[in-house]
Chains A and B, each alone.
Chain A
Amino acid sequence: MKYAAPTTIDEARALLAADGDAIVFAGATDVVPQMRGGRPEPSMVVDLKKIDRLMSVSLDGDTWSVGAAVPTSVLTADAVFTADFPGLSEAAGLIGSDQIQNRCSLGGNLCNASPAADSVPALVVNDAIAVIAGGGGERRVPVAEVVTGPGQTSLAHDEIVVCFELARPAAGTSDAYLRLIPRTEMDIAVVGAGVRLTLDGDGAVSAATVALGAVAPTVVRVPAAEAALAGSSLDDAALAAAAAAASDACNPIDDKRGTIDYRRQVAGVLTRRAAGIAADRIRTRNGQQGDS
């Protein structure tokens, strides 16, 4: 097995184009355990962490650009980013452990294509765009379209996710992400739920997005839950309807991490709770702005 550490995207793509068995990695926090667990070794591993653009975070006007290989600990430590996307930041801060978070990345979390990836529902509810470098230059696709199934992505062999673009949230907008694990860390989501809300001046929901992880082969947007929340004042009936819609949207499997029934039930609970947290964040921020 060869190791390569290119410093440009073109160089990295050329390495992939020349070797159909080569794979890329960012933090390698999935790749190394997979190989130790019996995954056949590729002929080459291409380390993306030496490419500046994949390792940088910037705010240009109203758009964040987050390098695909940036360690998630950089994001959770970034106060401005975390204030804009508290749910995404907390999702990034749930992956593995502190040590893992010094290596793992949003790009790796997405392209590993685990149904249980914590950051993906949080990226999806924030309408994140993946910028993908490929043969025809760069293309921009919604994050929800990158993963096509467990371990499967829509990327061509020589394509690389470069960064994620996220629009700064509009006024009165915030997000939240919750996951259920039996432990408190070092675990993988049995169910994950991301919610983003926008509240109008009267406290009614003017926009809502809901996405679930670990309940289907890929991340699940839940339009019915979004519709239940939109226009509501987050009253119990609306929250219960959103929870029921989330449960209904699940297409889970029975496996060692959870049963179908359990995942359905908990998906609704976490959706309701995440909506409550997102709303509280908006109200808290509005209150602080009102005070100042």
Chain B
Amino acid sequence: MSTTEAPADTGTNGNGASGYRWVGTRPVRHDGLDKVAGKARYAADLNLPGMLYGHILRSPHPHARIVSIDTSAAEAMPGVKAVVTGADFPEAPPKGATRNLMCTVIARDTVLYSGHAVAAVAASTRREAKAAAEAIEVTYELLPHVLNISDAMADDAPVLHDNLFTRGVEPRPTEPSNIAARTVYERGDVEQGFAEADIVIEREFSTQAVHQGYIEPHACVVDCDQEGKAVIWASSQGHFMVRSSTATVLGWDTSRIKVIPAEIGGGFGGKTTIYIEPVAALLSTKAGRPVKIVMSREDVFRATGPAPGAIIKMKVGARNDGTITTAKAWLAYENGAFQGIAAMLGCMCVVSAYTLDHLYVEGFDVVLNRPVNVAYRAPSAPAAAFAMDSVVDEIAERVGMDPIDLRLHNCPSQGDPTPYGPKWPMIGLRECLEAIRDSDHYQSDLPAGQGRGVATGFWFNIGEASSATVNLNENGTATVITGSPDIGGSRASMALMAAEELGIDPHSIQPVVGDTEVVGFTDVTEGSRATFATGMAVVEACRDLKEQLRKRAAKTWDCDVEEVEWVDGSAVHGPGEQEPLTLAAITGNAKRTGGPLGATASLNARGAGPAFSVQVADVSVDQETGRVTVERYTTAQDAGTAIHPSYVEGQMQGGVVQGIGWALNEEYIYSDDGNLENPGFLDYRIPVASDLPMIETCIVEVPNPSHPYGVRGVGEVGIVPPLPVMANAIADATGVRIGDLPLSPPRVLAALTAAES
């Protein structure tokens, strides 16, 4: 366990925890100085000779048929070199994920949300491109729109897709609707569970759609040559994803496209898809020049992925001893303009932190006239936890039990069934609950007038495909090339794992994010997978190298390789007849022992370790204005093993902060005509630094047996508990439970006023 005291750079001492020399230390990140000094290159920083600027024209309507597009005036404007519309792109299939991607990048015959891309211009200057895009004449036939779940699910709702029939309903519906899918998970008999309960609590909750709020807007530069090859510089969570998605949208062969990753200025899931690269590619192809597109903040809010809002109805039964006997949940999640799996994920997460013999969980994925959902840290889990952990808190209050003790009493362990089927592997929920229970925060008396709330969060984490190449240099240093962009300190983590394997200082390792032509295929960074899966590839490549190093030593010593061990960065002769050979000595002599040393590993990482987090907050509530102040906040999270504790803490704190924003103030405000009224950070209120106390961290380490160092992903689960933590703390402070987010001053004051009267 560690705290958030400012950590020293312990990387040079080699004093890792758990018996490791480097894993668990805190070296300064390799990319840190450039980022602090403003030298790091983001996609928008790149300028090429002859480069044009692209501007995308977006729909001012939430739902309309495109009757015609006249680009002639735009094409005649000064500086204009190319204009494209949906008609310039390959035809989209009638339905499915490919259609959704293609039609998100550019609308075909129908616009499905205000901000939907309709056409684009490339011109010599930004100003010319914008002026020309605004001169494109689009004739729309307006269609009725729906912006919230209740309206979209209504029988008489305007239907977005006339070929969308609800999946998961028997018999298959004969009429299309906005309900894309129904998902059910059940076990036991919920009615029996309610019969066994002493108390039953039934509540309804709603959460708002929120944006990931990354500071860097989407940006790319695309240069297409005469032979039809494209080079793309882009900010994303996975450049192989950019390559394959761009190829899909354009109908191009993947091998025509090379993607060079730029530094990424925040993604949080929002950059696991593309919006602008195929548009820039077509403009570049038409104009014969490189094209840069940089979204404005307004574009980002209007046209890129929100995390969905949800409506959740919970009914939970418990006995007076705190045993939860059953839970029944009804969940409906926004999907945005195209169908997704938000509700399905919500169904899988909603009761995951509890052992239940009887459960029935039913979810509905609903399309409506908003941008399509994109992942946001532990997608769908926060709303689900908000519902369940609010009710659990009420149960603890009703049965007079400490809320942590009640959760420990109902805590699943390895071998118990998950709500969605398989058995739990080794998990650290119990340890996280105990860490919070034993924390200085929870053991401290609550200051007068404040309220305290606790809650749990779960996220699956995933593995997927990763590749790494490790090259040993002649001076004994190493270059580690991976295909995962460095979003949260992964260069440092990769270097630490390589350092541990090879036995050299992490500062002797140069971690590199390789482009799509220098490193093997690597899936997009999602599911908190980079340190787990890409780290696994790095370790595998290093272990291959250690074999090679032992063979080189054996060759040098003219002995059997079995007599050579690799210890602390040196080949050691088991029988002790030779002086050890350092890694630098072997690489310096490599030409004479068989040539340069390098290794590559490509793998599908199996056995991702589920993540749990438990958090506690103290808040004060201004009873006259409804303003909530977070006074103290502590988060415990199971990291498996913290490779670089500073960046684990950073992920934990970042998730908490984003969750607090979701809980307290973030919301999309749409006008009646379906336009977003707050497409900027002034009125879309993410927290600022002065809003928050230091987020105290307890790293819990229950190693994941599937990873060589026990790593679990840490990037996502931290955002899950803050929604119920805030609601529970406010309830404790005021005696009033609020089931609708955000818990903004007007909402809280209205609830307090209503409770008084």
Residues of A within 8 A of B (CB): 36-37, 180, 182-188, 190, 256-259, 261-262, 265-266, 269-270
Contacts and interface: CB of A to CB of B under 8 A. Distances in A.
B560 interface: no
A262 B750 CA distance: 8
A259 B746 contact: yes
Contacts of B750: 261-262
Interface in B641-678: 664-665, 669, 677-678
A92 B231 CA distance: 50
B690 interface: yes
A256 B677 contact: yes
Nearest to B298: A37
Contacts of A256: 669, 677-678, 683
Given A37-B298, A258-B746, A266-B625, A182 B690 contact: no
A166 to B, nearest CB: 29
B607 interface: no
Interface in B668-727: 669, 677-678, 680-683, 685, 687-688, 690-691
Given A186-B688, A265-B624, 17 more contacts: A37-B680, A180-B625, A180-B627, A180-B745, A182-B627, A182-B665, A182-B685, A183-B688, A183-B690, A185-B690, A187-B685, A188-B682, A256-B669, A256-B678, A256-B683, A259-B746, A262-B626
22 contacts: A37-B680, A180-B625, A180-B745, A182-B627, A182-B665, A182-B685, A182-B744, A183-B690, A184-B691, A186-B681, A186-B688, A188-B682, A190-B745, A256-B678, A257-B683, A262-B626, A265-B624, A265-B749, A266-B624, A266-B745, A269-B624, A269-B625
Contacts of A182: 627, 664-665, 685, 744-745
Nearest to A258: B746
Interface in B737-757: 744-746, 749-750, 753
Contacts of A187: 682, 685
Interface residues of B, number: 26
A262 B683 contact: no
Contacts of B678: 256
B743 to A, nearest CB: 10
B673 to A, nearest CB: 15
A13 B669 CA distance: 41
Contacts of B690: 183-185
Judged by DSSP, the binding face of A is loop
A270 B745 CA distance: 14
Contacts of A269: 624-625
Nearest to A96: B682
Interface pairs A-B: 8 shortest CB-CB: A262-B746, A184-B690, A269-B624, A256-B669, A182-B665, A184-B691, A256-B677, A186-B688
Interface of B: 296, 298, 624-627, 664-665, 669, 677-678, 680-683, 685, 687-688, 690-691, 744-746, 749-750, 753
A184 B686 CA distance: 11
Nearest to B624: A269
A275 to B, nearest CB: 14
Nearest to A190: B745
A182 B686 CA distance: 10
A182 B625 CA distance: 10
Nearest to A243: B624
B749 A183 contact: no
A270 B685 CA distance: 22
Contacts, number: 53
A161 to B, nearest CB: 25
A180 B744 CA distance: 12
A259 to B, nearest CB: 6
A185 B681 CA distance: 12
Contact of A262 (B296, B298, B745): B745
Nearest to B676: A256
B175 to A, nearest CB: 36
Interface centre among A183, A190, A261, A270 (most CB of B within 10 A): A183
Contacts of A265: 624, 749, 753
Contacts of B680: 37
A183 B625 contact: no
A183 B664 CA distance: 10
A266 B669 CA distance: 22
A37 B753 CA distance: 37
Nearest to B127: A41
A183 B669 CA distance: 17
A188 B683 CA distance: 9
A261 B677 CA distance: 20
A190 B745 CA distance: 10
B726 to A, nearest CB: 13
A266 B625 CA distance: 6
A203 B296 CA distance: 56
Nearest to B746: A262
A131 to B, nearest CB: 31
Contacts of B688: 183-186
Contacts of A183: 665, 685, 687-688, 690-691
A27 B14 CA distance: 51
B301 to A, nearest CB: 12
A270 B749 CA distance: 14
A172 B627 CA distance: 32
Contacts of A266: 624-625, 745, 749
B712 to A, nearest CB: 33
A268 to B, nearest CB: 9
Contacts of A258: 746
B677 A262 contact: no
Nearest to B664: A182
Contacts of A270: 625
Contacts of A186: 681-682, 688
Nearest to A97: B688
A270 B624 CA distance: 9
Contacts of B664: 182
Contacts of B691: 183-184
B657 to A, nearest CB: 13
A259 B678 CA distance: 15
Contacts of B685: 182-183, 187
Contacts of A261: 750
A269 B682 CA distance: 24
B731 to A, nearest CB: 20
A256 B677 CA distance: 7
Contacts of B625: 180, 266, 269-270
Contacts of B746: 258-259, 262
A259 B691 CA distance: 23
